[in-house]
Amino acid sequence: MKKLLLIRHAKSSWADDELDDHERPLNARGERDSFTMARYLADADEGLDVIFTSTANRALDFAHVISEFTDVTLVPDLSFYTFDEDELMEIIRSLPEDATRVAVVAHNPAIHRVVERLSESELEKMPTAAVASFECHVDEWRDINESNCELISLATPKRLAAR
């Protein structure tokens, strides 16, 4: 069995319209939500092997906070800077087999669509900093699809604040 956490990066800043999309930082809410979700993941103790993240600043900064709180190795990879769900699925299917419990920090609409695909449900939205946790009943990443993944939880900063 594999464990897959699909995480949308935290809220980014649009304050500087001269910045390339890849370079946009987190805004104040994004920074705050990063710590909220990192604490949640540390408390949940998912036993992650590795966190793969997009190299976009907003994703990388968020993933760094998660990595620090959970003490899990962080692997930045430009290929996770994608907005296409089929491309993201192919990347997930090519994850290293020695990692059985993986978190992926990436972007919408790809994250949203992949969460919907694997859970076989429609989500109103996949908010920034949301964490979708899946149990995937497969031995190899290449076999992941909607028939063998089960959505265990969908955590958001807003839901956690309401507790």
Amino acid code (one letter) for 38: A
Tokens of 42: 């540390």
Q: Would the pTM of this model clear 0.75, i.e. be above it?
A: yes
The conformational region for residue 148 under phi > 0 = left, psi -120 to 50 = alpha, else beta, is alpha
SS3 at position 151: strand
Percent of the chain whose pLDDT exceeds 70: 100
pLDDT confidence of residue 161: 83
SS3 at position 131: strand
Distance (Å, rounded) from C-alpha 10 to C-alpha 31? Answer: 7
Is residue 127's pLDDT more than 90? yes
What the chain holds in terms of domains, given with CATH numbers, is 2-11+22-161 (3.40.50.1240)
Closest CA to 103 of 125, 61, 134, 126: 134
Write the pLDDT tens digit of every residue in 33-78. 999 999 999 999 989 999 999 999 999 999 999 999 999 999 999 9
